Amino acid sequence: MLNAAIVGATGYTGRELVGKLARHPKIQPTVLISEQRAGVPFSEVHPEFRGWLDQALEPLIPDRVAKCDVIFSALPHGISMTKVPEFVGTGQPVIDLSGDFRLNQASLYPQWYGYEHRAPALLASAAYGLPEINRAHIVDSSLVANPGCYPTSVLLALKPLLAENRVDPDRVLIDAKSGVSGAGRSPQLPLHFPECTENFRAYKVVSHQHLPEMEQELQKIAGAPVTLTFTPHLVPMIRGIFSTLYVELLQPMEEDDVWSLYQEHYEEEPFIRLVSAPALPETKHVQNTNFCDLSLRVDPRSGRLIIFSVIDNLGKGAAGQAIQNMNLMMGWPETCGLEGILNHGTDDD
């Protein structure tokens, strides 16, 4: 068994990584880093692991991390970029789950993330970690920037259409919803239970940090600039992303022809499930999995195409995708450790 280090192991994403890696057949979570909880058993922070993962959390000691075969950085935005260069310097594969290495231009970080980038030299070499779009680059990379949860749902929904020049790249509307775990584990008043429950609200309208990430990667697919209208919403549930996209077809298409296009692009993808009419995707159908469920409808009245994309924000939107990327970097089957529906056993919410 190889060994993995998880830096930032006590957050929701770190916890998800630990649980999935503990059931991986080729690697185990050996070094669990938490500066704030160092010395405390991991199972004390997350009691569902009691009797299974009782090892103590550790402070960040470079020599300990360097001895592991893979390094996952699940640190917050803005902090990860101060540590990742050191992790890359160990020569071990590094997968960063923050937004710090997703954007190609350092100049975008002050506007969208609110800070200057402190490791701009790594931006050009980091592979954007969406396997269904960037598999070849991931395989050859030593640093992978794990995509955001919203971008994962949006990019997978639009790839077949933009790659085949079937839709207007300047008229894409995205209405997206996320569970509360997407905001992280640190307490915040807007995420307090009485504030969230029995409520539904939009947030970060026209200013969400995932917007430039989506436009950047979609432009690579389309070979031309892509302009999105993106509105995220907070839903009072723990986990899940549901994105509904409205696009303008450049030429009329029958719904069966659109389905054929998606099947052509995704028939070999193990984690893409096309949901045929009359069924539609639901967040509960992807919970605790690494699947992205896609469906679509052509509106004959307006001529618009409506696409539905659903993922688990902690699965395909974070930890599951990170493991999928690790498998590619290590030369293992892409599905290794991610098979099945409830693929993390007792590690549930």
Which residues, in sequence order, are CB contacts of 200 under 8 Å at separation 6+? 233, 234, 235, 236
Q: State how far the alpha carbon of 334 is from the alpha carbons of 32, 257, 269, 273, in Å.
A: 24, 29, 10, 16
The rounded distance, in Å, linking the Cα atoms of 198 and 192 is 12
DSSP per-residue letters across 266-308? HTT-TTEEE--TT----GGGTTTS--EEEEEEE-TTT-EEEEE
DSSP per-residue letters across 45-88? HSGGGTTT--PBPB---HHHHHTSSEEEE-PPTTTHHHHHHHHH
Q: Of the residues 149, 196, 292, 336, which is catalytic?
A: 149
Q: Any alpha helices (H) in 148-254, and if so which ranges? A: 149-163, 193-196, 210-222
Is residue 149 flagged as an active site residue? yes
The rounded distance, in Å, linking the Cα atoms of 189 and 183 is 12
Phi/psi of residue 336, nearest 5 degrees: -55, 125
The rounded distance, in Å, linking the Cα atoms of 102 and 232 is 19
Could you list the active site residues? 149
